[in-house]
Amino acid sequence: MRKVIFVTILLLAAASSALAMSTSDCFDCHSDDTLTKAVRGNEISLYVDEGIYGQSIHGDLECTDCHEDLAAEEDEHEEELKPVQCSNCHEDAASVMEVAEHPADCSDCHGKHDILPQSDSRSSVYDLNVPGTCCTCHSDQETPDVCVQYESGMHGIVLIRSGMIFSAVCNDCHGSHDIRGAGDPASMVARANINSTCAACHQGVAEKYKKSIHGEIFADSPEDAPVCTSCHSAHDTERAMDDTFLLTVVKRCSSCHEEMGYTFSKNYHGQVTGMGYTRAAQCPDCHGAHDILSIDDPASMAHPDNLVATCGKCHPGANRNFTLYMPHADYHDAQNYPMLYYVYLAMVILLTGTFAFFGIHTLLWLIRASIEKSRNRSGGVH
Amino acid sequence: MTDYSHTENIGQEERWYLRFNYYHRFLHALVIISFLGLVFTGMPLKYSHTGWAQTLAGLMGGIGAAGKIHRVFGTITWLYFFLHLLFAAYYVVKLRDEPLLKWFLGPNSMVPWIKDLEDIIGHVFWFLGMGERPKFDRFTYWEKFDYLAVFWGVGIIGFSGLMLWFPEFFSQLVPGWTFNVAIILHSDEALLAAGFIFTIHFFNTHLRPEKFPLDHVIFTGRISEEEFQHERPLEYERMREQGTLSSIESTPPTRTSLLWAQIIGFIAYGMGLIMILFIIYSALKELR
């Protein structure tokens, strides 16, 4: 009897070791690249490249470490496996993902059996590869296409064309696991947070901005101040010295300073800027950009005391007299520019008078001369 | 009206007189060239918000290039202005053959006087079928107006243009807000000039039925006896009585010079018409 018990234990032990599936057991089947199954009519490959898996960061783990529901299975297993729970090990990332609203699985960004460390240039989340990874979903998702915009923007050009790894990629601004919509106040790209998000790289600009009138307003009520993205596009970010930026900067400033934008466009600088001439002054040339101050502030570039220097940037030799030019004058505005208004009015009267007199004169002449001509002609017949 | 279709024997039977010398014609050519150049390079800025202005500026290499070309034609304008002043001074000092005051108020000067006022009234009465056509002299009232309008125009537009070209220099003399005034004057005076030349001047001088399609006298310098008698009877009679007619008798215009007159004239008409349409289109658009 004892013998029987002993053999039974032996057999059970042997059986149990056969029951617990080993990684090599899995590859008995899954190294066959023709192995497929049908999911809702689609053929899905069940092939796992043993070499790639072996080199992956999880290469030392057993299949069943992740596919836990197989740990108790024998050779054959259920076709439907339970989802892999990355959170078993990656608790921090998983808990962040849970509160954020990014509707993606870990594998959507990181891959499955081929996961590599983030620092590996082949990793799908390696900085150079991040835009491509995000764009597998986000291309064509929005209008305009953020992926196309990013590629043509400065960050994209620096990353993709110049190959500079320090350029901003998606997760630098949107977060890695803590990805939230811009409307979510906790989002890195929410209005109140975007400045500090950009400041992670553009620290010098952030310092200037803080001291500007925009920065001052932002400190009190972020909703009322322009933030980085109010003037700079989010995805197709231009270089501020490029024509595309200089020719649209007026429009950007005008989205708040509507009146100033209008009067600018009615004057020389604005007219030629409107026609694509970037050498003329645009808003920041006279008012400053990140360090912009109220013109009442004695430190402002556009404060009367500083105008000689400010105008002098483009007009060498500009003097105090020169700065009395009014770049935002509106000659239709009799209240603020009576002098210009009356000069304009006088011109209107001169033009109207001249054209009215000679218009009538011409018309009457035409009629009379035509009559005379036809009379002479018929006279000639007689 | 001169009929150019049978130019084989043009004016063979007729006498011809010289109305404009080479200098007059050369200066008027400078006026035509510079004026068209200024209008086409300047109006795009005035109407910078319209599509045609942007296309036109684009054809010239952008508004920056248009501005540079504009300054070249502006220089030509100042050039003919001074050349004319030189000629006027030479005329007054050397060529004038009558006492200064008599010349100044007489038919050989461009100064409007009582006769011109009478002619305006008489002309309008004639338009209305209430009287004879006034007898005109060497310069009619509308020709004097054209001439003085250019004088006034070059003065106002030319001077404000110089101010805007060299603001750093002029700000040593005048406060900066005068540039704001200069822009209004320059721009609206230019609109007046272009509008006037391309409609009123073209009609009065060339397009009215008696002259249609073109009065070549400013190009060939020559006027036929018949036209001279009809258009400027007082001048003709006076010179006949004084016996000076023969001093201005000339050869008939050549076929080549008539052809050139038409080529230049029709190009100018075309450009003027295009610009007038642009301006009217922009004005209507602004009203809406």
First to last CA, chain A: 156
Q: Do A36 and A45 meet the contact criterion of CB atoms below 8 Å apart? A: yes
Checking A189-192 for CB contacts under 8 A at 24+ apart, the result is A189/A229, A189/A234, A191/A222, A191/A223, A191/A227, A192/A222
pLDDT bracket for residue A7 (50, 70, 90)? low
Residues from chain A that touch B196, judged by Cβ atoms under 8 A, are 354-355, 358
pLDDT bracket for residue A38 (50, 70, 90)? confident
Work out the minimum CA distance from B103 to partner chain A, whole angstroms: 28
Query: What would the DSSP string read from start to end of B210-242?
Result: TTTT--THHHH-EEEHHHHHHH-HHHHHHHHHH
Tell me whether residue A353 is exposed, middle or buried, using C-beta atoms within 10 angstroms of its C-beta: 0 to 12, 13 to 18, 19 or more.
Answer: exposed
Q: Do A324 and B177 meet the contact criterion of CB atoms below 8 Å apart? A: yes
- Structure confidence at residue A22 (pLDDT): 80
Work out the minimum CA distance from A359 to partner chain B, whole angstroms: 7
- Structure confidence at residue B3 (pLDDT): 47
Calpha distance B229→A210 (Å, rounded) = 84
Calpha distance A55→A115 (Å, rounded) = 9
The residue among A274, A233, A282, A276 whose CA lies nearest residue A257 is A282
Q: Which of residues 28-47 of A touch B (CB under 8 A)?
A: none
Contact (CB<8Å) A322/B168? yes
Residues from chain B that touch A348, judged by Cβ atoms under 8 A, are 188
Residues from chain A that touch B63, judged by Cβ atoms under 8 A, are 272, 275-277
Q: Which helix (H) or strand (E) holds B18?
A: strand B16-18
Q: Is A349 on the interface with B (CB under 8 A)?
A: no
Full strand arrangement of the beta sheet holding B249-250: B222-224, B16-18, B249-250
Residue A382 makes CB contacts below 8 A (sequence gap 6+) with none
First to last CA, chain B: 43
Q: Which of residues 97-126 of B touch A (CB under 8 A)?
A: 123-124, 126
Q: Do B250 and B16 meet the contact criterion of CB atoms below 8 Å apart? A: yes
Per-residue pLDDT in tens (0 to 9) along chain B, 288 residues: 444 444 444 545 689 999 999 999 999 999 999 999 999 999 999 999 999 999 999 999 999 999 999 999 999 999 999 999 999 999 999 999 899 999 999 999 999 999 999 999 999 999 999 999 999 999 999 999 999 999 999 999 999 999 999 999 999 999 999 999 999 999 999 999 999 999 999 999 999 998 999 999 999 999 999 999 999 999 999 999 999 999 999 999 999 999 999 999 999 999 999 999 999 999 998 887
Work out the minimum CA distance from B127 to partner chain A, whole angstroms: 5
User: In this structure, how many other beta carbons lie within 10 angstroms of the beta carbon of residue B39?
Assistant: 24
Tell me whether residue A62 is exposed, middle or buried, using C-beta atoms within 10 angstroms of its C-beta: 0 to 12, 13 to 18, 19 or more.
Answer: middle
Calpha distance B185→B189 (Å, rounded) = 6
Residues from chain A that touch B209, judged by Cβ atoms under 8 A, are 366, 369-370, 372-373
* Ramachandran class of A325: left when φ > 0, alpha when ψ lies in -120 to 50, beta otherwise: beta
- Structure confidence at residue A79 (pLDDT): 76
The residue among B65, B46, B35 whose CA lies nearest residue B279 is B46
Tell me whether residue A129 is exposed, middle or buried, using C-beta atoms within 10 angstroms of its C-beta: 0 to 12, 13 to 18, 19 or more.
Answer: middle
Q: Choose the closest CB to B127 out of A315, A354, A365.
A: A365
Residue A341 scores a pLDDT above 90: yes
pTM: 0.83
- Structure confidence at residue A33 (pLDDT): 85
Q: What is the mean pLDDT of residues A219-229?
A: 93
Q: Is B180 on the interface with A (CB under 8 A)?
A: yes
The residue among A176, A198, A199, A174 whose CA lies nearest residue A188 is A174
Residues from chain A that touch B200, judged by Cβ atoms under 8 A, are 355, 358-359, 361-362
Q: Choose the closest CB to A325 out of B176, B195, B209.
A: B176
Pairwise pLDDT comparison (A98 vs A256), residue with the higher score: A256
Contact (CB<8Å) A331/B184? yes
- B172: closest chain A residue by CA: A321
Q: Is B171 on the interface with A (CB under 8 A)?
A: yes
Calpha distance A70→A61 (Å, rounded) = 14
The residue among A77, A2, A65 whose CA lies nearest residue A37 is A77
Tell me whether residue B286 is exposed, middle or buried, using C-beta atoms within 10 angstroms of its C-beta: 0 to 12, 13 to 18, 19 or more.
Answer: exposed
Q: Do A340 and A329 meet the contact criterion of CB atoms below 8 Å apart? A: yes
Strand partners, B18: B222
Q: Which of residues 241-300 of A touch B (CB under 8 A)?
A: 265, 267-268, 271-272, 274-277, 279
| A257-290 confidence digits (pLDDT tens) | 999 999 999 999 999 999 999 999 999 999 999 9
Residues from chain A that touch B185, judged by Cβ atoms under 8 A, are 343, 347
Strand partners, A45: A36
What the block records as the tokens of B275 is: 């610009």
What the block records as the tokens of B206 is: 């060339």
Residues from chain A that touch B204, judged by Cβ atoms under 8 A, are 362, 365
- Structure confidence at residue B6 (pLDDT): 43
As for the ipTM of the complex, it is: 0.92
Contact (CB<8Å) B177/A325? yes
Q: Is B26 on the interface with A (CB under 8 A)?
A: no
What the block records as the tokens of A354 is: 């001249």
Residues from chain B that touch A371, judged by Cβ atoms under 8 A, are 129
Q: Choose the closest CB to A324 out of B64, B177, B203.
A: B177
Residues from chain B that touch A304, judged by Cβ atoms under 8 A, are none
Calpha distance A164→A158 (Å, rounded) = 6
Question: Sign (positive/negative) of CA torsion B157, B160, B162, B166?
Answer: negative
Calpha distance A203→A208 (Å, rounded) = 9
CA distances from residue A162 to A29, A159, A167, A208, B125 in whole angstroms, order as listed: 44, 6, 10, 28, 80
Residues from chain A that touch B191, judged by Cβ atoms under 8 A, are 351
Question: Best of B45, B183, B287 to disrupt the A interface by mutation (most A CBs within 10 Å)?
Answer: B183
Residues from chain B that touch A272, judged by Cβ atoms under 8 A, are 45, 48, 63-64, 67
Calpha distance A360→A371 (Å, rounded) = 17
Question: Best of B141, B157, B171 to disrupt the A interface by mutation (most A CBs within 10 Å)?
Answer: B171
Contact (CB<8Å) A343/B185? yes
Q: What is the mean pLDDT of residues A307-315?
A: 97
- Structure confidence at residue A5 (pLDDT): 67
Q: What is the mean pLDDT of residues A334-339?
A: 96
Question: Best of B145, B152, B184 to disrupt the A interface by mutation (most A CBs within 10 Å)?
Answer: B184
Range in A50-64, A148-162, B37-51 the model is least confident about: A50-64
Residue with tokens 């996961």: A115
Calpha distance A186→B30 (Å, rounded) = 71
Report the CATH fold assignment for B20-287.
Fumarate Reductase Cytochrome B subunit (1.20.950)
Work out the minimum CA distance from B274 to partner chain A, whole angstroms: 19
Q: Choose the closest CB to B57 out of A275, A350, A351.
A: A275
Residues from chain A that touch B167, judged by Cβ atoms under 8 A, are 315, 322, 325
- E strands, chain A, where? 36-39, 42-45
What the block records as the tokens of B227 is: 């036209």
Calpha distance B164→A187 (Å, rounded) = 51
Contact (CB<8Å) A362/B204? yes
Residue with tokens 């604005």: A270
Calpha distance B181→A52 (Å, rounded) = 77
Residue A142 scores a pLDDT above 80: no
Question: Best of B125, B174, B180, B276 to disrupt the A interface by mutation (most A CBs within 10 Å)?
Answer: B180
A9 residue type, one letter? I
The residue among B193, B165, B280 whose CA lies nearest residue A268 is B165
- B46: closest chain A residue by CA: A271
Calpha distance B175→B163 (Å, rounded) = 11
DSSP code at position A157 = I
Residues from chain A that touch B168, judged by Cβ atoms under 8 A, are 315-318, 322
Calpha distance A229→A198 (Å, rounded) = 9
Residues from chain B that touch A347, judged by Cβ atoms under 8 A, are 184-185, 188-189, 192
